[in-house]
Amino acid sequence: MSALTIGFLSFPVLILLIFIRIPIGAAMLMVGLVGNFLVRGSFLPVLSQMKDLPFSTFSSYALSIVPLFLLMGQLATLGGMSAALFKTAQTWLGHKRGGVAMAAIGACAGFGAICGSSLATAATMGQVALPELKKYGYSDALATGALAAGGTLGILIPPSIILVILAILTEQNIAKLFLAALVPGLIAMFGYMLAVSLYVRFNPASVTQRAPRLPWSVRLKSLSDIWPVLLVFIVVIGGIYAGVFTPTEGAAIGAFGTGLIAWFNGGLNRNTALAAITATASSTAMIFFIILGAAVFNSFLALTQVPQFAAQFITEQGFSPWLILGVILLAYVVFGTLMDSLSMILLTIPIFYPIVILLDFGLSPVEFGLWFAVLILVVVEVGLITPPVGLNLFVINKMSPGTKLSQTYRGVLPFILSDFVRIVLLVAFPFLSLFLVRLVF
């Protein structure tokens, strides 16, 4: 059996392992190791690789940003920033039809700017916003659907852990990729708010009452409650783009700043600090194990030359670049029903990126890399709320006792439709992702 055949057969085997609930990191590691053995015919080269590959993978300086952003998100939760964001957003939007759900989405975007994790954003904002949504008579479908969708903003509004991983895999500048994702993130936020507005307009029974309209003096005063969030975001992002420090240094400063705020607000003590560090270590270990599994599997694919063969075969068929891009984006939507966002990216980027980088979209290589990375991030975000396996759906549904999973599935559909509209806009108008990068750099 040729190496190329072994490479192609590895994909159905990997999907089977995932389907029988083998953790994705372990599945990629197993398939990569066995595949290497079958191609090389000996375990000695495989053992030699395992001696060097983990160190070369985890010694990457760029990966040090991951635990720092995770810690920043943990400390931001302890500092009560999520509650302050939601309270302020509700003060401004709560009186509108569907306004409390809009406020939850806006708060998710704000918290995502200092968290960087979709699941953490969804879980944290769910604790804060669900009681208020239930208080004002929002249906279970709308309440859980809005929070599941809003949680996805955690990976799109920079800084973001997934953005860092994407930048490493596609060899893009992290600061430029953060900037390229900002406008699509804001479009996502307003698109979700529009989806809420249309949802309650066509389904008035989904909301039984509105929050009271508050005077302007109260609204303006509420802005003072979110100054810690604005301060952390401005210092971290502003410092990176001003050239004061690198993204990794910015993540460290952000973690330190959120820790100080949490301590000042009384949320940080010895016990909560230990819990935050433990949770950060656990999440980091999970992410790094998936990265290791992907590194082993992708080194096996490189040995079989599957990515090179696929890139050459597809480019020789004469298909339109836009058709190929559309098929790839559609594939990500399908993958989103099977695996989490990080696994999707680590598994597919080494295969898809060599294909699309050869296509002509009228952009420079750097601009194309940024645009494509943002598109992948947006589609991966859809996977987080795509039934039946969207992780955000399960996180929010478990936080809402008595809500059937089918109700959450139904409630998230308008937001998925909003996502597809946004994908079409970003594909048709690359300028939306690139104009800030062109302006700053």
160-195 pLDDT tens trace: 888 888 888 888 888 899 999 999 999 999 999 999
In this predicted structure, what is the pLDDT of residue 241?
83
In this predicted structure, what is the pLDDT of residue 148?
93
Reported as a single tens digit per residue, the pLDDT across 333-387 is: 877 766 777 888 888 888 888 888 888 888 888 899 999 999 998 998 888 888 8
pLDDT band at 92 (very low <50, low <70, confident <90, very high): very high
The answer to whether the CB of 62 falls within 8 A of the CB of 167 is yes
Judged against a pLDDT cut of 80, whether residue 311 lies above it is answered with no
Give one DSSP letter per residue of 60-114, joined into a string.
-GGGGHHHHHHHHHHHHHHTTHHHHHHHHHHHHHTTSTTHHHHHHHHHHHHHHHH
Paired tokens of 111: 């918290």
- For the chain, give the percent of residues with pLDDT over 70: 100
In this predicted structure, what is the pLDDT of residue 19?
79
Q: Round the CA-based radius of gyration of the chain to a whole number and report it.
A: 22
In this predicted structure, what is the pLDDT of residue 240?
84
Judged against a pLDDT cut of 90, whether residue 421 lies above it is answered with yes
Give this prediction's pTM: 0.87
Judged against a pLDDT cut of 80, whether residue 79 lies above it is answered with no
Residue 355 CB coordination number (10 Å): 19
The answer to whether the CB of 153 falls within 8 A of the CB of 109 is yes
pLDDT band at 138 (very low <50, low <70, confident <90, very high): very high
Mark 11-27 as b/e (b = at least 16 C-beta within 10 Å).
Answer: eeebeebbeeebebbeb
Judged against a pLDDT cut of 90, whether residue 105 lies above it is answered with yes
Paired tokens of 327: 């098929």
Q: Is residue 2 classed exposed, middle or buried when 0-12, 13-18 and 19+ CB atoms within 10 A define those classes? A: exposed
State the average pLDDT over residues 44-71: 84
Lowest mean pLDDT among 107-111, 140-144, 391-395: 391-395
